[in-house]
Amino acid sequence: MRRSDVARLRLWPGLSASAANVITMSRYRLLPTPDQEVGLLEHARHARYMWNLAVEQHAHWQPGRTSAPGYTEQSRQLTEARAAFAWLRAGSQTVQQQALRDFAQAMRNYIAGSHRRPNWRKAGVHEGFRQVAVRAEHVQRLNRHHGQVWVPKVGWVRFRWTRRIPDGVKSYRVTRDRAGRWHIAFAAIPTPIPAPGTGAVVGVDRGVAVSATLSTGERLHVPVLAGAEQRRLVRLRRRLARCRRGSNRRTKIKAMIAHLAARAKDRRKDWVEKVSTDLARRFDVIRVEHLRVKDMTRSARGTVAEPGRRVRQKAGLNRAILAHAWGLLVSRLEHKAAGRVERVVAAYTSQTCSACGHVARESRESQASFRCVACGFGCNADVNAARNIAAGRAVTARGALQPPGGAVNREPQLDTSLIW
């Protein structure tokens, strides 16, 4: 378990959009026994069943029909179902009801436009449940490295105590990833990192060759799988392609691949946590490019009528962007340096000279080299772009550098405030 493994609650569809901006999940490695794992999986199945049942009810709704049942009606139906089916009655009612509450909140978020429409959950992919009404005595510390948490109908489950439990915990979420690892995440409001008060400003340029380049000249790289791990991953994928679907061999190989993928994800998230904490402590203002990562990583396949071009190349670029954690880095910066992160328009930041402000495509000699054709200034291309970002420079459609006060080459405008 990493020292600062924190997952944002935006990924939790049962939380309101306003709360997701201020609440994070402090995650710990859960260590259930084989018998306890059976009970946790049973809770996850029940939560997934109630969620999918709610999705199915809303899928049948069409304009003109009676609205789909809300949480109150679904809760009444759950009471009747528990009385009729022993297998459902054997599970935890709070876990099942909370799944319906999460779905109701997810639908409200979808209607508000802050989240996508809630969809089906699959076994082996969405394994988890949420528990509320957690009291202080439900979480105990056993020794220096371990603690225990009370799970209904499962009992006390041990977890690794890697750091202090946040104060005021009222709920937690138990999840199982594809590598078979169990985690428990406690919801809490984090304390932002205070600004150093030095007035220092830094620009962060995100890239594929270099994960993040700072205006100070520092070049940061996301840790990836080592050479031997990469080769093993390639071999496992080839073996997976030759396996028969549904076979035990295919299941084992998928688990091996999931372990490697989880290892890479852990390293990436740990890097993001350390870098974001370091930047929040060193600088008062952190400026980043305003990039729509979700749109940038969209597939280029197109449609049957209009197929896309260079689809494989675009897929490789998408994987590289996601592997360098562009979006996660900015999200964690906004959490830790709340109100001190500014987004700068990314247009022409790599073609603008940070010394004289001249904009020319020819100045970008290569991916790593920049030399201004006007003044002859030269430096690393990513560092030059990061300095432009730190200065808050953006280029307007008319080609002028836009300072914070606005573009300086616009035509004079009539001041209508003087007209009575």
User: Known catalytic residues?
Assistant: 205, 289, 382
Closest CA to 111 of 22, 20, 17, 24: 17
- Residues 6 or more apart whose CB falls under 8 angstroms from that of 112 comprise 17
CA distance 363 to 396: 19
Helix axes 326-336, 248-282, angle to 10 degrees: 40
Cα–Cα separations (whole angstroms), residue 225 to 241, 254, 255, 262, 273: 21, 17, 17, 11, 18
Q: Provide the residue type at 291 as one letter.
A: L
Residue 307 three-state SS: strand
Task: Yes or no: say if 381 and 350 are a contact pair by the CB < 8 Å rule.
Answer: yes
Give the containing element (helix H, strand E) for 37.
Answer: helix 34-59
CA distance 185 to 204: 30
Helices in 171-308 by DSSP H: which ranges?
Answer: 227-242, 248-282, 293-296
**Phi, psi at 25, each rounded to 5°:** -115, 120
- Residues 6 or more apart whose CB falls under 8 angstroms from that of 53 comprise none
CA distance 298 to 308: 12
Task: Yes or no: say if 174 and 159 are a contact pair by the CB < 8 Å rule.
Answer: no
- Residues 6 or more apart whose CB falls under 8 angstroms from that of 21 comprise none
Query: What tokens were used for 84?
Result: 């009729």
Task: Yes or no: say if 78 and 50 are a contact pair by the CB < 8 Å rule.
Answer: yes
Residue 383 three-state SS: helix
CB atoms within 10 A of CB 89: 11
Query: What tokens were used for 365?
Result: 């000699």
CA distance 245 to 247: 6
Query: What tokens were used for 182?
Result: 């169990």
